[in-house]
């Protein structure tokens, strides 16, 4: 059995594995896709102390750093069930391939995925004008025209944030009214370079083969299609935590995020969590790494308090 088993191999999981292995304890990482969301990212300019890097490069460095240590890396392994510790004090993680892993402590770091619009052009122009993270990619659109899709809190926050950076923001909401908090809506409506379009369904992202040139939306009241010329589309219709497999075992928030305390402890003894899959706000690489490190240290603390001498 492991002392610390990390489930998920993104920034949070990699940090947890390194911090655990550095304590000289038996450490394993099981990940569906080592590298996580970082693999889908192009330019990264907010990974502090590294002015510029690219996702696939950072993902390779994460794996290299983990492999410097005595860590059992199990890539392409999807966890399907967590079984809390019984009398033997071991938590069990069942894998899709039928195998099962046992560990004294577990760090859950299965991350999240952005909900996509599912319209033509969205995939084709991902990272070529279609973006999901205003904190990450906002500065790339300085002085340009962008749309934000989604009028919930994250969409309206993104529109306010982007309005300070870009030339013009069009916020597109599917429903007849925005769903964001009133204070955010007031702030948004006070900005001179923002246009709000409600009852609008985005149906296509347009481009020239290289990058985004515009989008098409249908007016859900009149039924006619409209075309907007712009350079960027920020999709803000939800971040979905990869926690479906934990339903019923670990306490989740109404959004499906794993509830953690300041030490990264979950509702299940010996089970910790870190990164985008948790209730910790602001989903970013540096934050996920910090939280992963913290969860591993908390797991180590748990081990020295509960293991026989």
Q: Annotated binding residues, as ranges? A: 3-18, 145-159, 266-276
C-alpha torsion 67→45→235→167, nearest 10: -170
46 binds ligand FAD per the rule CB under 6 A: yes
End-to-end Cα distance, the chain: 17
Handedness of CA 154, 159, 161, 166 (dihedral sign): positive
> Segment 187-246, which members bind ligand FAD (CB under 6 A)?
242, 245
6 binds ligand FAD per the rule CB under 6 A: no
Residue among 127, 201, 192, 126 at smallest CA distance from 159: 192
136 binds ligand FAD per the rule CB under 6 A: yes
* The binder of ligand FAD chosen from 33, 65, 94, 115 (CB under 6 A): 33
Q: What residue numbers does the annotated binding site for FAD cover?
A: 3-18, 266-276
Residue among 68, 17, 2 at smallest CA distance from 289: 17
Residue nearer to ligand FAD on the CB measure, 178 or 265: 265
H helices within 49-152, ranges in order? 55-67, 134-137
Burial of 248 (0-12, 13-18, 19+ CB in 10 A): exposed
- The pattern of x and - marking residues 12 through 31 that bind ligand FAD according to CB under 6 A reads xx----------------xx
Residue nearer to ligand FAD on the CB measure, 101 or 194: 101
| Residues within the interface to ligand FAD (CB under 6 A) | 7-13, 30-34, 36-38, 40-41, 44, 46, 78-79, 109-112, 114, 132-133, 136, 242, 245, 275-277, 283-286, 288
């Amino acid at each position: 059995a492991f002392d610390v088993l990390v489930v998920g191999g993104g920034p949070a999981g990699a940090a947890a594995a390194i911090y655990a292995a550095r304590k000289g304890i038996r450490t394993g990482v099981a990940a569906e896709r080592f590298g996580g969301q970082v693999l889908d990212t192009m330019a990264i300019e907010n990974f502090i102390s590294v002015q510029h890097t690219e996702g696939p490069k950072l993902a390779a460095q994460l794996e290299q750093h983990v492999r410097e240590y005595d860590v059992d890396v199990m890539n392409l392994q999807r966890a399907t069930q967590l079984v809390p510790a019984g009398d033997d004090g071991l938590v069990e993680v069942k894998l899709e391939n039928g195998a099962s892993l046992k560990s004294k402590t577990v760090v859950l770091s299965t991350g999240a995925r952005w909900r996509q619009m599912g319209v033509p052009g969205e995939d084709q122009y991902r990272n070529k004008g279609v973006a999901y993270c205003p904190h990450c990619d906002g500065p790339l659109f300085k002085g340009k025209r962008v749309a934000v899709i989604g009028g919930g809190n994250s969409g309206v926050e993104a529109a306010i944030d982007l309005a300070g950076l870009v030339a013009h923001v069009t916020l597109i909401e599917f429903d007849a009214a925005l769903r964001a908090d009133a204070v955010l809506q007031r702030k948004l409506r006070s900005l001179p370079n923002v246009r709000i379009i409600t009852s609008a369904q985005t149906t296509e992202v347009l481009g020239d083969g290289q990058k985004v040139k515009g989008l098409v939306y249908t007016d859900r009241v009149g039924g006619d299609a409209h075309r907007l010329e712009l350079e960027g589309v920020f999709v803000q219709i939800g971040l979905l935590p990869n926690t479906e497999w934990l339903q019923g075992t670990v306490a989740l928030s109404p959004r499906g995020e794993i509830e953690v305390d300041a030490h990264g402890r979950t509702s299940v003894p010996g089970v910790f969590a870190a990164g985008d899959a948790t209730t910790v706000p602001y989903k970013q690489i540096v934050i996920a790494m910090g939280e992963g490190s913290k969860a591993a240290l908390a797991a180590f603390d748990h081990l020295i308090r509960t293991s026989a001498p």
